Amino acid sequence: MQLLVFSLGLGLVLGTLFSALSTFVLPRAARSQLNRLVFGLLRRLFEIPLHFINDFRRRDALMAYYAPIGLMLLLPTWYILISIGYAAMYWAISDLTWSEAYKLSGSSLLTLGLFVAQGFLANLLVFSEATLGLILVALLISYLPTMYLAFSRREQAVNMLEVRAGNPPSATEMVLRFHRIHGLDGLRDYWGTWEFWFSDIEETHTVLPALVFFRSPRPENSWVVAAGAVLDSASFTLAAVDIPSSAEAALCIRAGFLALRRICDYFNLPYPVDPKYPHESISVSREEFEEALDLLTSEGVPIRKDRDQAWSDFAGWRVNYDSTLLALCALTMAPPGNWSSDRAIKTKLPPLLLPK
């Protein structure tokens, strides 16, 4: 019996350490079932008051606390599980009662020194538990600056997009502003900036998945809506604007849809990989596309004459990221955005946040 309890306690401690390592240390995307459980249950709690709030700004103000609270809950969750695991081991190797074993475990983990262990093995466990407690705190302290640095890089590009694409950002507004101010040739250099941005969020938002839920400082901004506006602008330019084709725009789209797909893969969000009929698989209608063409034409933007081919080309580009974009808009409760969150399907919390 004692051996079984000791094994269970050791397994609980090792499992908790795996969760901490995959969150703080491992430089690659690794799913932690414990982290998913904490964030999933917390999301359920946040959804309760959201049912009674209709104003988006108030909903955004509430959801701004979701990711920080979830992140801060990880440390006490790990502490509780580690203390329970060590208490089981103390009980198995000594004559302590369960209550006394847990008191010894808590005192050791928090380095309070209120209880003294008897025996070499018990003291060895005490020292190891105290060391783990200090390491977890140190890891959290070092983890937060890394996360906020990545957040700052992401939001800097999102804020700058307003200058070029309006607020909320849209593809037509970006094309119009470049046409009026910079000239459409200026778009070629701009795509490279966003190709780098997409590569950055692909890494940071899978290695540091809590970043996905960190909301922008301004309620009307969102990294998901910004990503959709840039991808639509590149797709629209390649498909409909009568300027030389840009390899940079195509590379930006590819970097974008790969980044969104890999973030969706991390959260187990489903999406069609290779739809057979692109124009039927995207959420943008032909009528909306024609309205955008008419607006650009009225402003003097050169538009390709063959609109059927332009629509086919646009659908062919958009289908690569349409479903992933809408899924992430729904997941993050993104603010209103043209051709993105304005058509995201309202669903209940997907099972991705809860362990399978």
What pLDDT, on the 0 to 100 scale, is given for residue 81?
94
119, 189: one domain: no
144 Cβ neighbours under 8 A, 6+ residues apart: none
The model's confidence at residue 66, banded by pLDDT at 50, 70 and 90, is very high
Mean pLDDT lowest among 29-38, 46-55, 234-243, 257-266: 29-38
Q: Which residue segment(s) compose the domain that 127 sits in?
A: 2-140
**Is residue 213 predicted with pLDDT exceeding 60?**
yes
Query: Mapped to the 3 state alphabet, what secondary structure does 82-125 carry?
Result: HHHHHHHHHHHHCCCCHHHHHHHHHHHHCCCCCCCCCCHHHHHH
**Is residue 280 predicted with pLDDT exceeding 70?**
no
265, 178: one domain: yes
49, 192: one domain: no
Among 140, 160, 175, give the residue marking a domain's end.
Answer: 140
**Is residue 272 predicted with pLDDT exceeding 90?**
no
119, 7: one domain: yes
Mean pLDDT lowest among 58-67, 134-143, 172-181, 282-291: 134-143
188, 247: one domain: yes
Q: How far, in Å, CA of 168 to CA of 131, rounded?
A: 49
Across all residues in the chain, what is the average pLDDT? 88
pLDDT tens-place string over residues 96-139: 888 888 898 888 888 877 777 778 888 888 899 999 989 988 88
173, 121: one domain: no
135, 229: one domain: no
What pLDDT, on the 0 to 100 scale, is given for residue 51?
87
165, 111: one domain: no
